[in-house]
Amino acid sequence: PGRAHCAAVGDMLARAHLATRDYDRRQPNLRGLAWWNETAPAVLPHLDESQAALLRAELAYQNHVAAGSAYAALPRGAVHADLFRDNVMFAGTPEQPELTGFFDFYFAGVDSWLFDLAVTLNDWAVDLPSGATDAPRTRALLDAYQAVRPLTDAERRLLPAMLRAGALRFWISRLWDFYLPRSAALLTPHDPRHFERVLRQRVAAPLALP
């Protein structure tokens, strides 16, 4: 995707978050922290020493973050929780894309809006081979999002942690799908190493907001 695509996604994601402010259903994110804690022991035996150390350390870090006051202050509401590039439709041209819809709300639930934003950034604004941050696409998506819904102070502080959380969530789920597949005719496991790379990049080079 280009910067124009990322800007359109950031704008619409912020509008979607604001539109859920009065939504009174409270289904939790079923692939949130509780699921990570429950699933990690099942995938750990399939990892090498370096991978296992990373998974244990990051899970401990995310539990620590979730117990803090800044995390408790994050705005919350209904989230998509899986807004990857293959879950967004565009019309128009590459230079002037027109966003026509989000779809695949299978993993939708209630969580922090910042986590939803982080999951989105981790797909739309990374270099796929390395997992590194793509700065221009990151800025385009964040600027468009904040033009609609500026981040709170707590969100700005915790964005690096939530980017790590988003990478951890999909690393664990892809490990689970890869090593412990369920019977599902349409399930094609993704390579879990991609989100391992994204997580390592997010730990090594935290995103700094101006």
CB atoms within 10 A of CB 205: 11
- The pLDDT tens digits for 158-180 are 999 999 999 999 999 999 999 98
Per-residue b or e along 12-50, where b marks 16 or more CB atoms closer than 10 Å to that residue's CB: bbbebbeebeeeeeeeebebbbebbeebbeebeeebeee
CATH topology of domain 3-204: Aminoglycoside 3'-phosphotransferase; Chain: A, domain 2 (3.90.1200)
What is the structure's pLDDT at 91?
Answer: 92
- Over the chain (210 residues), the average pLDDT of each successive run of 10 is 96 96 84 97 98 99 98 96 88 88 84 98 96 97 98 97 98 94 70 96 92
Give the global pTM.
0.94
- Ranges of each domain in the chain: 3-204
